[in-house]
Structure 1
Amino acid sequence: MPGDSVYLNTKVVHQNTYDAIIVGSGVSGGWAAKELCEKGLRVLLLERGGPVQHPSYPTSLMHPWEFEHRNSLCKADREKYPIQTRHYSINEDNKHFYTRDLENPYEEIKRYDWIRADVLGGRSLLWARACYRWSDLDFEANLKDGHGVDWPIRYKDLAPWYDYVESFAGISGNRDGIPHLPDGVFQPPFEMNCVEKDFTAKIAKAYSTRQVIIGRSANLTAPLKGRGVCQSRSLCHRGCPFGAYFSSNSSTLPAAMETGRLTIRTHALVNKVLYDEKKGKATGVEIIDTETKQTEEYYAKLLFINASTIGTTAILLNSVSNRFPNGLGNDSGQLGLNLMDHHKGLVIAADVDGFEDRYYKGRRPTNMYIPRFRNATEATGDFLRGYHFGGGAYRTRGQAEGIGEELKANMSEAGPWKISIYHFGECLPYQENKMSLHPDKKDPFGRPIIQFDAQFRDNEKRMFEDAAKTGVELFEKAGYKNITVSGKISFPGNANHEMGTARMGRDPKTSVLNAFNQLHAVKNVFVTDGACMTSGSCVNPSITYMALTARACDYAVQEMKKGNI
């Protein structure tokens, strides 16, 4: 891919009309590009950010001493990224992937940490790569406890598509036989260290309802086409030149380009979807070139809006017409509502005696994992839904004593073992948690700015408190010492798992999308990113986005062949 703002596919005459347009190049947008191109469509992929070409990530091979501020953000950076720096993941070595907040303002009626990328590949370059299938515990939750609306699909509908995307993406893990955390198509797992194995055995002995497993991660332990295995460098956040973790840049976009049917246009901020009221269909999109601020239009029979949960819904809300005065496909009035994210923020740590004759190798890219047991294998009357734990054990450094050579020698010795865990918990789909377009304020491109009004409520707070007590209990059962609990519940957005705002459902009166991620009211528009989610589960959603996208693409092309799109 050339390094300018437009990637022109030499096998396709460049023009403004395509078979399909995809908005957004992250996890779901990249999958849509691969699937639609491989099914024979000429595809235009629009990305608001700048180009990033695999494997040429600018800092991926730099040494720590080559960074001016030793990989810390300076004062000027923190002023430039006041929202992004609310999150742990932005540093000097990857700040160029993130959105500059001052140039992309939004309004917080209640605090919302919108952490976002602004490059080709989106947050597929920045995600933590945890991949866990959802089960019917998740897909049936709304129906059973009455929160939100019922999902129009069940696990059996997605199971073959999980198989399909896992085989291509490359997911490492064990087949653990946990009914509510289904096994998948896995590469060999990473290995736990000695203390984690000790913890696993002790929890298995103490509980029949709780398990500790190695995390399932989109990091290769065996090579795939054009991609090498994980080097355990713990530098994924810079972009991986080995292609060892799944990203759009290393995986789906090269596959799409290989077909000769993909054109990528960067610096293309989609402003709205164009709608033909006579045909009852979308005809294309209007973009704003982020460098020139000029508008252009592109046309297609099929549209996939995958600009991330917030970006996608903002585009739909801004796409008004006589037919849709409140946003494209918004007959139900649900666009922007039911905004969800996982809550986090808890850290529980303990000292571990012994094992001082053993160490570990490399920087493993995944954690040990404790699948949800609350309201799954164990009942609780305190709250609905549940949470999981992740974490790991590690050796501390030696004592920082002495000066000069003595200090260096002491610090080079390994210290005692410690173990720590964190939690991720589900947020219920509250209609009151929402995003909307400001009626008056505009961004530098003349678009209405987004405003957020969302918060974690009593159910999430009770879950957080339970996780704190239960985490302590786990370490006490294992016989570990000096247990500490720290942290407070996060603000929505900070887990980077924003979901909802254009939910799937069975009834067009209460949902935006049908069982195939198709707008109920506009049959040639699909949404398969986090906006489509009807509930949030407590497990990471990205592999579910991939499966939903592949399934929706298959359906969309079949409908096109039938003349229904």
Structure 2
Amino acid sequence: MSVNKQFDAIVVGSGISGGWAAKELTEKGLKVLVLERGKPIEHGKDYKGEHMAPWDIPYRGRPLRELYKEEYAVQSNSYAFDETTRHFFNNDKKNPYVRNDEKPFEWFRADVLGGRSLLWARQVYRWSDLDFEANKKDGHGIDWPIRYKDIAPWYSHVEKFIGVSGEKMNLPQLPDGEFQPPMEMNIVEKAVKKGIDDNFTDRTMTIGRVAVQTEAKNGRGACHYCGPCQRGCSVGAYFSSQSSTLPAAEKTGNLTILSNSVVESLDYDAQKKRVSGVHVIDANTREKTTYTSKLVFLCASTIGSTQILLNSRSETFPNGLANGSGALGHYLMDHTYRTNIVGLMPGYKDKYYSGNRPNGIYVPRFRNLNDQDEDADFLRGYGFQGSASRFDWQSMSSQISGFGTDFKNAMRAPGSWFFYLAGFGEQLPHASNQLKLSETKLDRFGIPQVEFDAEFGANEDNMRLDMVKQGEKMLKAAGLAFVKGDPGKSVPGESIHEMGTARMGNDPSEAVLNKWNQAHEVPNLFVTDGACMTSSSCVNPSLTYMALTARAVDYAVKQLKDGYI
């Protein structure tokens, strides 16, 4: 494709934050180039697994052991990966990173236009000042340069566009937003909620706040509860770049998208103190091209954006672009994962549910809210996600005895109800948790591979133990039997909420970005994906990425028009 190599703005990445940057920039009149390293796909047309019947799924969805081991060793560990979604995912053999067996890190990546916005679980929660003030309060990490009031209007701006279904709770630690009608809990979830409400004054349960519309809006339909969302949603009920922000940007006539475009590095003009060029490698032909623009928004994901910055060395920035602070690559964070509490709910054998609700329940943080709880041997807190359902024939097949007709009838009948909680805990920011570029290994494009040195610490370990203790207490109080908790062994990256590594902060000697997501030392460079985060909270971060992106674009365009950039 022959394209103009000069643009008003270049956006690297087309996922959750990249799509928002493209939408906001084009709607403000800028000519925008979006560079996506993944393959081009079309909304709806290329969701080939969307409504595929179980009997039509290749190999009945069974893992292709050798293929997965050889080519998808990491990606196949994702809850969203199977034969209906494999075409969305990165091939690990073709795109490796340096794995540390002693300190493993799971890096999940998409390989298509729209990125992981096609595969995420769509949980969207606002952060509160409990989160933005945590670093300053307990001394871990640096203080956030913003507070809730700075981002609240942008949360509303984003929520109104993406469509968020949820229930208002009036909880200071989980601010309410702009909600469509909430999805309904099933009968056992309602019973568990009542049990928690009746027995605890400091905690409650709600339906998840999810970026899936329950009412048609903005040219997108309402959810009809058809199946696993990660296969694609041609109706557009669930938010993705493909269904929402990129089409909005295209309508302006100001958008150019180049897929199969791997960004290698950024050029820096020391005299102008600006990014002067974006180096791109065509993933198919290996042809190299340099594009220029007045603004550059890095939205390539926490790890992708940081890799680009670290690889953008110059005489001014020998350790990576905008890295005068030395913080670039450090303070890598994720949420703890794999902590589960499960119990059986007696009764309700004559009740069932209909449809495939793309959402579960949520128990907001209740630990260390105002001050440190006396019985908590950890800082900060966690939340629970989960749901109630009934055992099916697959889960009961090894437990049902019999033969012939009686056995077949028993297999057809649903089993007992069970309820589970899964804990997501906040990780403290530590400089020792980092990603860097390998000194010896290059990828197929000649770019240094990413190498991780990160692990969870004692605070996260103690938090997981408390999740089990408190989760078991809640489920037993709610009337469940055979309650059992498992703290699990969590590996960073598994929750797919990686963040940090180019953090925001007021002091240029400590942080890469200022309060507007603008690089302290490079005024025309903005980073608005997870790399910008200064702490990790315990709630899903994607809504915050989107709000920060819209806020940063508004600031950047005003600065550009006023001649400051």
Separation in 2 of the partners of 1:52 and 1:76?
27
SS at match of 1:70: helix
Give the partner amino acid of 2:379: L
- Bigger mean CA deviation after superposition, 338-347 or 275-284: 275-284
> Could you say which residue in structure 2 is the equivalent of 1:432?
432
> Could you say which residue in structure 2 is the equivalent of 1:534?
534
Is the aligned partner of 1:555 residue 2:544? no
> Could you say which residue in structure 2 is the equivalent of 1:162?
155
The within-5 A match list for 1:418-497 is: 418-486=418-486, 488-497=488-497
Separation in 1 of the partners of 2:428 and 2:509?
20
> Could you say which residue in structure 1 is the equivalent of 2:241?
248
> Could you say which residue in structure 1 is the equivalent of 2:61?
71
- Which of residues 117, 127, 132 is equivalent to 1:139? 132
- Bigger mean CA deviation after superposition, 302-311 or 386-395: 386-395
- Which of residues 283, 292, 317 is equivalent to 2:285? 292
Separation in 1 of the partners of 2:216 and 2:417?
33
Displacement, 1:151? 0.3
Separation in 1 of the partners of 2:52 and 2:473?
42
Check the 8 A contact 1:108/1:453 in 2, yes or no. Answer: no
- Which of residues 44, 48, 60 is equivalent to 1:55? 44
Separation in 1 of the partners of 2:195 and 2:123?
25
Give the partner amino acid of 2:31: R
- Bigger mean CA deviation after superposition, 488-497 or 60-69: 60-69
Separation in 1 of the partners of 2:535 and 2:57?
42
- Which of residues 6, 19, 22 is equivalent to 2:8? 19
Indicate how the Cα distance of structure 1 residues 74 and 480 shifts in structure 2: closer, same or farther if over 3 A, else same. same
Cα deviation, 1:364-408, whole Å, max 9, x if unaligned, reads 111111001111167244000111111111122366454565444
SS at match of 1:69: helix
> Could you say which residue in structure 2 is the equivalent of 1:393?
388
Give the partner amino acid of 1:392: S
Separation in 2 of the partners of 1:46 and 1:76?
33
Displacement, 1:226? 1.9
Give the partner amino acid of 2:499: M
Displacement, 1:354? 1.5
Displacement, 1:178? 0.7
Is the aligned partner of 1:38 residue 2:7? no
Separation in 2 of the partners of 1:404 and 1:122?
48
Cα deviation, 1:91-113, whole Å, max 9, x if unaligned, reads 11101111111111111332100
Check the 8 A contact 1:284/1:301 in 2, yes or no. Answer: no
Cα deviation, 1:30-89, whole Å, max 9, x if unaligned, reads 000000000000000000000121111122122111122111221233121011123332
> Could you say which residue in structure 2 is the equivalent of 1:322?
315
- Bigger mean CA deviation after superposition, 195-204 or 132-141: 195-204
- Which of residues 99, 103, 117 is equivalent to 2:94? 103
Separation in 2 of the partners of 1:20 and 1:441?
32
> Could you say which residue in structure 1 is the equivalent of 2:276?
283
Cα deviation, 1:423-458, whole Å, max 9, x if unaligned, reads 000000010000001122211111111100000010
- Bigger mean CA deviation after superposition, 51-60 or 330-339: 51-60
SS at match of 1:451: strand
SS at match of 1:85: helix
- Which of residues 193, 197, 207 is equivalent to 2:190? 197
Check the 8 A contact 1:284/1:303 in 2, yes or no. Answer: no
- Bigger mean CA deviation after superposition, 156-165 or 59-68: 59-68
Separation in 1 of the partners of 2:316 and 2:346?
68
Separation in 1 of the partners of 2:376 and 2:290?
54
Check the 8 A contact 1:219/1:246 in 2, yes or no. Answer: yes
- Which of residues 134, 141, 144 is equivalent to 1:148? 141
Give the partner amino acid of 2:62: S
- Which of residues 74, 78, 82 is equivalent to 1:87? 78
- Which of residues 374, 379, 383 is equivalent to 2:378? 383
Separation in 1 of the partners of 2:546 and 2:320?
26
Separation in 1 of the partners of 2:407 and 2:245?
48
Separation in 2 of the partners of 1:393 and 1:503?
38
> Could you say which residue in structure 2 is the equivalent of 1:356?
349
- What number of residue pairs does the alignment pair up? 554
Give the partner amino acid of 2:71: K
SS at match of 2:159: helix
- Bigger mean CA deviation after superposition, 195-204 or 121-130: 195-204
Displacement, 1:282? 0.6
Give the partner amino acid of 1:391: G
- Bigger mean CA deviation after superposition, 502-511 or 268-277: 268-277
> Could you say which residue in structure 1 is the equivalent of 2:206?
213
TM-score of the superposed pair, with normalisation by structure 2: 0.96
Task: List alignment gaps of at least 5 residues for structure 1.
Answer: 1-5, 9-13
Check the 8 A contact 2:464/2:487 in 1, yes or no. Answer: no
Separation in 2 of the partners of 1:408 and 1:66?
23
Give the partner amino acid of 1:215: G
- Which of residues 250, 254, 257 is equivalent to 1:264? 257
Check the 8 A contact 1:21/1:284 in 2, yes or no. Answer: no
Identity of aligned residues (%): 52
Displacement, 1:347? 1.6
Separation in 2 of the partners of 1:404 and 1:381?
54
SS at match of 2:227: coil
Task: List alignment gaps of at least 5 residues for structure 2.
Answer: none
